[in-house]
Homo-oligomer: A and B are copies of this chain.
Amino acid sequence: MPSIKDVAELAGVGVGTVSRVINNHPTVKLETREKVNAAIKQLNYIPNEVARNFKMQKSTMVALLLPSIWHPFFSELAYYIEDELDREGYKLMLCNSGGRPDKELYYFDMLNQNKVAGIIGITYNDIEDSVSTDIPIISIDRHFGKKITCVTSDNYNGGRIALRELVNAGTKKAAYLATYSNAYSEVELRKKGFIDEAEAQGIKYMIYEELDTVFDDDRYFENFFQRKEHQDVDGIFANTDLLAAKYIDKAKQYGLRVPEDVKVIGYDGIQDNKLFHPILSTIRQPVEKMARTSVKLLIRKIEGETLDQEIFRIPVVYREGETT
């Protein structure tokens, strides 16, 4: 019994093209259509309806891997990714990987089996060895090897802008606050931008970061406030909004007022209304643009295009709140 693959081979086209011909897809060239139809006739190929349905389903499903949808940054991102996929006729499969490599690998396996057309993922595991080259995967924030395209906010400039705005608000000594995971991520560049701008401006600064699995919040901030070099810090750049909000909460317990004693800038822009306080001054991630760009690039990869760029960095803006 001839398969769709046999037809594709005989016609000298991809399986996707045969599928499009069978389904009367309008974009197939007349010449290609004739070649495929000739192959179908020669092999006496009968398109199996279930197989056809499956093929159609395969080509319209994109998996989104996130640590957790229950986080305002990720849910906003997922919102726009679904919206853009919908415009393009694709469906979204959602996976909270929760940092579990086995769950992520399961979806990579689905991709290899053609059960999903592509993957958009925020992953912090070392999955590079598990993925083959030139596959339709877009990574957000995490920069892998050359073959996995990465979409990210302009973290480096975000760090520079944050330092500059702290100085504008009167900061004399700035601290960079972060937790980090073992996997290298573009997020690291927030620190680099912060340092480079501090050096360029001749501003005093300190770096405080801890592995995210080692400390709880209380210990994290206790250690920070006990450091000698912390004493004259009057400006904070926290590498996420959530960390900025936690700092502000803890600082109160140490008798520090924000923004009177310390200016604070976060990163993300997770607050989508002005009803809850403090409204954070923050480097706003261009979430909508990152989402739509990721989908557009993924579809180009699904369609077999080789992208000329490895990392796509989307500009960020500073949004002033009540904490500077």
Interface residues of chain A, those whose CB is within 8 Å of chain B, are 1, 3-4, 46, 48, 50-51, 53-55, 57, 61, 64, 68-72, 74-76, 78-79, 82-83, 86, 91-96, 103, 113, 115, 242, 245-246, 248-249, 271-278
Q: Which residues of B sit under 8 angstroms from A71, Cβ to Cβ? A: 75
A75 near B69 (CB under 8 angstroms)?
yes
Q: Does A50 contact B55, Cβ atoms closer than 8 Å? A: yes
Across the interface, A51 reaches (CB within 8 A) one of B51, B76, B248, namely B51
Task: Say which residue of B57, B245, B273, B275 sits within 8 Å of A275 (CB atoms).
Answer: B245
CB pair A54–B50 under 8 Å, yes or no, is yes
Q: Are A249 and B275 in contact (CB under 8 A)?
A: yes
Cβ of A94 and Cβ of B96 under 8 Å apart? no
Q: How far is the CA of A17 from the CA of B277 in the complex (A)?
A: 56
Distance between Cα atoms of A65 and B191 in the complex (Å) = 39
Q: List the B side residues contacting A94 at CB < 8 Å.
A: 64, 78, 82, 92-94
Find chain B residues with CB under 8 A from A271 CB. 276
Q: Once the chains are docked, how many angstroms separate the CA of A245 from the CA of B275? A: 6
Main secondary structure of the interface of A (DSSP, over half): mixed
Among B57, B242, B245, the residue within 8 A (CB) of A57 is B57
CA distance A68 to B78 in the complex (A): 10
| Smallest CB-CB A-B distances: 6 pairs | A54-B54, A70-B79, A75-B75, A276-B276, A245-B275, A50-B51
What are 28 A-B contacts defined by CB distance under 8 Å? A50-B54, A53-B54, A57-B57, A57-B115, A69-B78, A69-B79, A69-B82, A70-B76, A70-B272, A71-B75, A74-B75, A75-B75, A79-B96, A82-B94, A82-B95, A86-B96, A86-B103, A91-B93, A92-B94, A93-B94, A94-B94, A242-B273, A242-B275, A245-B273, A245-B276, A248-B275, A249-B275, A277-B278
Docked complex Cα distance between A72 and B72 (Å): 7
Q: Is the CB of A69 within 8 A of B69?
A: yes
A272: chain B residues within 8 A (beta carbon): 70
Q: Report A5 CB to chain B, min CB distance, Å.
A: 10
Query: Which residues of B sit under 8 angstroms from A274, Cβ to Cβ?
Result: 249
List chain B residues, Cβ under 8 A from A273.
Answer: 242, 245
Q: Which residues of B contact A78 (CB under 8 A)?
A: 69-70, 75, 94
Q: Are B70 and A75 in contact, CB atoms less than 8 angstroms apart?
A: yes
Which of A4, A61, A79 has the largest count of B CB atoms less than 10 A from its CB? A79
In chain B, what residue has the closest Cβ to A76? Answer: B70
- On whether A115 and B53 interact (CB within 8 A), knowing A46-B1, A94-B92, A275-B249, the answer reads yes
Please indicate the chain B residues that have their CB under 8 angstroms from the CB of A55 in the complex: 50
CA distance A246 to B79 in the complex (A): 23
- A92's nearest neighbour on chain B, judged by CB, is B94
Across the interface, which residues of B come within 8 angstroms of A72, CB to CB? 72, 75
- With both beta carbons as reference points, the residue of chain B lying nearest to A79 in the complex is identified as B70
Chain B residues in 8 Å Cβ range of A3: 50
Complex Cα distance, B83 from A69, in Å, reads 11
